[in-house]
Amino acid sequence: GAWDMFRAYRDMREANYIGADKYFHARGNYDAARRGPGGAWAAKVISDARERWQGSVSGRGAEDSRADQVANEWGRSGKDPNHFRPAGLPSKY
């Protein structure tokens, strides 16, 4: 699961695509959770830690953190991450 989360983060940084953040959050959690309970656990731990840091240290704010958590939970629950996919994001992702 941790690898799935890292891969989604790496792809998000590489894509550098405005509006794609929530898609990559959902995708990383989705891919990790598909590996089973351990993957879902890893995704939750990593997501929660990232959002705690983002909400308090990065200055991005609690509202953005809450929206990220919605996408995280969406993916972990097995729902299609493409729900958050922005138009025009290259098909590579």
Model confidence pLDDT, tens digit, residues 12-39: 999 999 999 999 999 999 999 999 999 9
User: What separation in angstroms does the CA of 86 have from each of 21, 50, 65, 66?
Assistant: 9, 22, 19, 19
Structure tokens at 10: 């790496």
Structure tokens at 90: 């290259």
Share of the chain above pLDDT 70, in %: 94
Determine the average pLDDT of the residues in 41-60: 83
- Whether residue 90 lies inside any domain: the answer is no
Given a cut of 90, whether residue 45 has pLDDT beyond it is yes
The total number of structural domains in the chain stands at: 1
Burial string for 57-83 (b: 16+ CB within 10 Å, else e) reads: eeeeeeebbebbbebbbbbbeeeebee
Model confidence pLDDT, tens digit, residues 62-79: 788 899 999 999 999 999
> Which CATH number fits the domain that encloses residue 75?
1.10.132.110
- Whether residue 93 lies inside any domain: the answer is no
- Whether residue 92 lies inside any domain: the answer is no
| Domain that includes residue 55, residue range | 1-84
What confidence score (pLDDT) does residue 58 get?
63
- Whether residue 58 lies inside any domain: the answer is yes
- Whether residue 50 lies inside any domain: the answer is yes
Residue indicated by tokens 């919605």:
70
